[in-house]
Amino acid sequence: MVDITPADGIPPAEVAEVELYHPHSWWTKYIFSQDAKVIAVQYSATATGIGLVALVLSWLMRLQLGFPGTFNFITPEAYYQFITMHGMIMVIYLLTALFLGGFGNYLIPLMVGARDMVFPYVNMLSYWIYLLAVLVLVSSFFAPGGPTGAGWTLYPPQAIMSGTPGGQDWGIILMLSSLILFIIGFTMGGLNYVVTVLQGRTRGMTMMRLPLTVWGIFTATVMALLAFPALFVASVMMLLDRVLGTSFFMPAISELGQQLAHNGGSPILFQHLFWFFGHPEVYIVALPAFGIVSDLISTHARKNIFGYRMMVWAIVGIGALSFVVWAHHMYVSGMHPYFGFFFATTTLIIAIPTAIKVYNWVLTLWRGDIHLTIPMLFALAFIVTFVNGGLTGLFLGNVVVDVPLSDTMFVVAHFHMVMGVAPILVVFGAIYHWYPKVTGRMLDETLGRFHFWVTFLGAYLIFFPMHYLGLMGVPRRYAELTDMTIMTESARHLNSFISIMAFIVGFAQMVFLFNLIWSIRHGREAGGNPWRATTLEWQTPQTPPAHGNFGKNLPIVYRWAYDYSVPGAKEDFIPQNMPGSFGPSREPT
C-alpha cells in the first residue's frame, strides 16, 4: 500500500521510493502484476475476448432473425440463450469492465500524476476475481442445459423455472454466481479508482484541473459502487430461491400442472432491485464515454473544451439524478400512475444536463482547428449516435409512449444506439488515441479509416431500421415471427438487410483486431506525444511509461488540461506541467 499522508492539503513532492511495489520476476511483472498499467491491459484483453463471444452471439441471433427457418440448430431455446448472454456480456463484462477496469486503471494514475493506484495489491485481486467471474460465465456454455435464457434482466419467476433454458439446470446458477463474483471484484477495483483520485493527485492537480476523462470515470465508479450492491442483493436472493427453495421473489406458482413449493414472493421486488442497479448502469458506461469524448474533441480540434465547469457539474448532476429514475423501466409492471408520473418527470429532467453536454461538445468544435484524425471521427460519430439514441429516450421516457412501444424492436434500437453503439464508438476512438501511449506505435491509418466508416455507417444501417420495425409492432425477444401479420414482406426484407449489415460490421471488427495485433510490431513509431496533447500521460519520460509512470520526480501541475491554441504561446498546446503565464487575456506577470 502506498501510504501518502500530506500536510495541510499540500502533498509531498515525492512518495518515498520504498513504498512503491517492485516486481521481482517475470511472473510478478507480467502476470501477477500490481502495476495498474499491466492490470489495465489484462482487463482490456479479457473484456475484448469475452466481447468477441457476445459479437458472435449477435451474429447467430441475426442469422435466425434475418433468415428464419434456415438454420435448424438455432432452436427457440438457443435463441433465448444467445440473447441473454449477448446482453449481459456486452453491458457488464465488456463495457463496464473495459471503461472502468481498462481505461480507469490505465488513465487514472497517469492523468492525476500518481505512480500507481493507492492499493496495488487489491487492484491486482480485482482483476483476478473478474477473470474468475468471466470463466464461470463461460463455463455455463458447457454446463448441462447450457447457459440461462432468461433475458439479460433475469426476471423471476421465469428465470428459475423449467420452461426457461437453464432455469432448472446450471445456467442460472452459474450466471448469478458469476455476477456476484464480478461485483466483489469490481468493488475492489472501484475502491482504488475512487481513492486514487481523492488522494493520489500530484502537486497542483486540483479537482477542477482534472481532465474530464478522470471526472467521468471517477463519477461512474462512485455510481457503480453504490448501484452494484443492488444487483448483488438481487442475485443472492434469487440464488437462494433457486437453490434452497426460499420465496423472496417466487410467488405461488404451478409448473407443468404441479404446484411449486414457493409462496408469496414478489417478482416486482426483483424488478425494483434490478433496475435500481440497471438504470445507473447505463450511465456507468456513458459517463466515462462522455469524459473521454470531451478530451478527444478538445485535443483533436486544438481548442479548449467549452464550459469546463458546466461539464463537471453536468457529470455530477447526471450521476446523482440517475439514482431516482429506475422505475421508468417498469411502466408496464402495473405501478401506480402517480409513480409513473414521478419517474417520467425525473427521466425528462436528466435530459437537461445531458443536452448541456452535447451543446458544449458542439460549441467546442465551433471554429476549432478540426483534425479529422481517427479518434476525432469516432468522437463525431459518437455525438451523432448519442443524440439519436437520446431523442428516442425522450419518447420512451413518457409513459403513454412507452406502454405501446415497450418490448418492441423500438426499445432494442433505442438502447443499442444510446448505450451500445455510442459508448463502443468512444471505446474505439479512445483506443486509436491512447494506443500509441500503451505500445509506443501508431495504429495503421488506412485500416483505421476503413474500420471507422464501416462501423459507423454499418451500425446506423443495423439499428436505424429497427425503429421502424418497432413502430410496426415487431416485438423483441422473439425467435420466430414469420407467421405473424405484422411481418410484412418488406419487414422481412428489412430484417435480412439488417442481418447482412451485422455481418459486415462484425467483419470490420476483425480488421480492427488485426490492426491492434499487427501494429504492436509494425506500426509507425509514435514518439512520446503524437497528438501534441496537454494531459500528463503524454508527458512521461518513457513511452510506454515505465514502472512508476514518471521519472525521478513526479510532475507538478500548473494549469488545467485544455490549454490549446493559446495566443502568445510558442506551441499550440501547453502541457499541464509547464509553468508560466501566456496569452493576452491572462493576468500579466
Stretch of 41-49, 140-148, 334-342, 412-420 lying at the interface with ligand HEM (CB under 6 A): 412-420
- Cβ distance to ligand HEM smaller for residue 48 or 58: 58
Q: Give me 54's grid cell.
A: 457476445
Please name every residue paired with 573 in a beta bridge, in sequence order, or none if there are none. 564
Of the residues 231, 462, 491, 578, which one makes contact with ligand HEM according to CB under 6 A: 462
Specify the DSSP element, H or E, that contains 255: strand 254-255
- Which one of 2, 38, 50, 61 is in contact with ligand HEM (CB under 6 A)? 61
Judged by CB under 6 A, does residue 329 bind ligand HEM?
no
Q: Output the smallest distance, CB 110 to ligand HEM, in A.
A: 27
Q: CB 390 → other proteins: shortest distance, Å?
A: 25
Kind and range of the H or E run holding 465: helix 445-472
Closer by beta carbon to ligand HEM, 62 or else 559 = 62
Segment 414 to 433, residues that bind ligand HEM, using CB under 6 A: 416, 419-420, 424
Q: Is the dihedral of CA 332, 334, 339, 340 positive or negative?
A: positive
CB of 209 or CB of 279, closer to Cu ion: 279
86 is a site residue for ligand HEM (CB under 6 A)? yes
Cβ-based nearer residue to ligand HEM, 89 or 118: 89
* Nearer residue to ligand HEM within complex by CB, 175 or 205: 175
Q: How far is the CB of 373 from other proteins (least distance, A)?
A: 24
Query: Which one of residues 152, 248, 276, 277 is an interface residue with ligand HEM (CB under 6 A)?
Result: 152
Residue among 279 and 441 whose Cβ is closer to Cu ion? 279
Kindly state the smallest distance separating residue 23's Cβ from other proteins, in Å: 22
Interface region with ligand HEM, contact rule CB under 6 A, candidates 85-93, 250-258, 443-451, 521-529: 85-93
The residue assigned the cell 469546463 is: 308
Which phi and psi angles does 347 have, rounded to 5°? -60, -45
Q: Which of 38, 43, 62, 448 binds ligand HEM (CB under 6 A)?
A: 62
Window 506-545: residues binding ligand HEM (CB under 6 A): 506
Q: Which does 245 bind (CB under 5 to 8 A by kind): other proteins, ligand HEM, Cu ion, none?
A: other proteins
For the bound state, the minimum distance from the C-beta of residue 329 to Cu ion, rounded and expressed in Å, comes to 5
Q: Rounded to 5 degrees, what angle do the CA atoms 89, 56, 426 make?
A: 60
Q: Using CB under 5 A as the criterion, which residues of the chain lie in contact with Cu ion when the complex forms?
A: 279
Nearer to other proteins, 250 or 285 (CB): 250
Element (H, E) at 258: strand 258-259
The distance of closest approach from Cβ of residue 180 to Cu ion in the complex, given in angstroms and rounded to an integer, is 23
Binding mask 95-114 vs ligand HEM (x if CB under 6 A, - otherwise)?
x-------------------
Q: Which does 263 bind (CB under 5 to 8 A by kind): other proteins, Cu ion, ligand HEM, none?
A: other proteins
Q: Interface with ligand HEM includes 87 (CB under 6 A)?
A: yes
Task: Name the one range near ligand HEM by CB under 6 A: 81-89, 361-369, 482-490, 517-525.
Answer: 81-89
Choosing among other proteins, Cu ion, ligand HEM, none, which partner's interface includes residue 462 (Cβ < 5 to 8 Å by kind)? ligand HEM
H/E element, 61? helix 36-66
Q: Are 494 and 468 in contact (CB under 8 A)?
A: yes
CA–CA gap between residue 111 and residue 202 (Å, rounded): 10
In single-letter form, the type of residue at position 447 comes to: L
23, 128, 151, 323: which one binds ligand HEM (CB under 6 A): 151
The residue among 146, 118, 97, 154 whose CA lies nearest residue 21 is 118
- Which residue from 384, 389, 383 is spatially nearest to 419, judged by alpha carbons? 389
279's contact among Cu ion, other proteins, ligand HEM, none, with CB below 5 to 8 A by partner kind, is Cu ion
- What are 362's three cell numbers? 458542439
Contact mark string toward ligand HEM, 474..503, x via CB under 6 A? --xx------------------------x-
For 369, counting Cβ atoms within 10 Å of its Cβ (0-12 exposed, 13-18 middle, 19+ buried), the class is exposed
Cα gap 540→37, rounded to integer Å: 13
CA distance 589 to 585: 12
- Residue 136 contact, options ligand HEM, other proteins, Cu ion, none, Cβ 5-8 Å cut-off depending on partner type: none
- Residue of 231, 394, 369 lying closest to 300 (CA atoms): 369
* Residue (319 or 420) nearer to ligand HEM, CB: 420
Distance, in Å, from the CA atom of 278 to the CA atom of 100, rounded to the nearest integer, reads: 17
**What is the C-alpha end-to-end distance of the chain, expressed in Å?**
41
Residue whose CB is less far from ligand HEM, 315 or 425:
425
Q: Mapping DSSP to helix (H, G, I), strand (E, B) and coil, where does residue 573 land?
A: strand
Q: How far is the CB of 305 from ligand HEM (least distance, A)?
A: 26
Range 354-360, long-range pairs (CB < 8 A, 24+ positions): 354/314, 354/318, 354/390, 356/307, 356/310, 356/311, 356/314, 357/290, 357/294, 357/311, 357/314, 357/315, 358/383, 358/386, 358/387, 358/390, 360/294, 360/305, 360/306, 360/307, 360/310, 360/311
Indicate which single residue of 40, 41, 50, 83 sits in contact with ligand HEM (rule: CB under 6 A). Answer: 83
Q: Residue 79 Cβ, how far from ligand HEM at the closest point, in Å?
A: 8
CA distance 164 to 168: 8
User: Applying CB under 6 A, which residues contact ligand HEM?
Assistant: 55, 58, 61-62, 65, 83-84, 86-87, 90-91, 95, 151-152, 412, 416, 419-420, 424, 462, 476-477, 502, 505-506
